[in-house]
Structure formats: structure tokens, C-alpha cells
Amino acid sequence: MKKMKKKSVLWIILIAAAVLIAAAAVWGKQYYENRYVGSDYYAMIPLDYDMTPENLYTMKGEVAGLGKEFKLTAYNEQGEAKSVRFNVKGGDSSKYPQPGSYLFIRASKQLVVRWNVIEENAVPEKAMEKIGAH
């Protein structure tokens, strides 16, 4: 009878461990996808955008140095809007994307994964219609 009880406890522990491992894997996959797997968007830096370098801050509120935080509305190929934010570090504003520049932006649910300046003709038609309306 004692042997049977030990086997039952061992099976319960093994099943609980398997459930925990599976839950951690699902959570990890969702975290990764929400943070690092993005969709493509397009935006233009408005012509009147203030390009003055400013202090950038860490999540703890500490100064991380000079740079520029960009807050833009970007559009996907279907013309659906998304608010995006990203920082460019450094006090030399000539290294920032300039007003009138078109941007390709890969944005996840949580952050901008990457961005780069593109030519106007690389912006999909429906995104360009929305960009032009602003």
C-alpha cells in the first residue's frame, strides 16, 4: 500500500511539473511575439516636427542622454493606423530622420522593433493616402 502511495505522489509531481513547463512555454512564446514579432507600418515625419534634441529617460526615470523621441501615427498596407514611439540617441539632430522623410517601421504590440528611412515610392498606396491626409 505504501509503494502505491509513493507512485501516486510521484505521478502527481510529474504531471504538475509538466503543466508548469507547458504554461511557461506558452507564456514565453506570447511574450516574445508581443514584444519582438512586428507588423509593417509606414509614416512620414511631419514638416513642422520639432527636431530639438532632448533628454531621453530610462524606465526608472533616470536621464539616459540626449536624443529625440518620435511619436508618430503609422499606417499598414491596408491603411489601418497605429501610434508608434521610438527614440534616436545622440545630440546631433542631423542623424535623426528629417521632417518630410518617409519611414518603414516594424512595430510589435509593445514597441518599435526597427525603423529606417525609405523613398516615397516604397510606401504602399493605402498607407500613402492616409499619410497624405494628415
**pLDDT digit string, tens, across residues 11-36:** 889 889 999 999 999 898 888 888 88
Please state, rounded to an integer, the average pLDDT across all residues of the chain: 91
pTM of the model as a whole: 0.78
Alpha-carbon span 47 to 45, nearest angstrom: 6
C-alpha distances in Å from residue 51, one per residue of 58, 68, 93, 104? 20, 7, 6, 19
Average pLDDT over residues 84-104: 93
pLDDT for the residue 35 = 80
Q: How confident is the model at residue 2 (pLDDT cuts 50, 70, 90)?
A: low
Note whether 84 and 131 are within 8 A (CB).
no
pLDDT for the residue 37 = 85
pLDDT for the residue 133 = 64
Alpha-carbon span 99 to 105, nearest angstrom: 16
Residue 77 pLDDT more than 60? yes
C-alpha distances in Å from residue 133, one per residue of 104, 107, 125? 18, 22, 12
Query: Could you read off the pLDDT of 27-67 as tens digits, one per residue?
Result: 988 888 888 889 999 999 999 999 999 999 998 999 999 99
C-alpha distances in Å from residue 53, one per residue of 39, 49, 87, 93, 117? 28, 12, 11, 6, 19
Rounded to 5°, the CA angle 61-65-68 comes to: 95
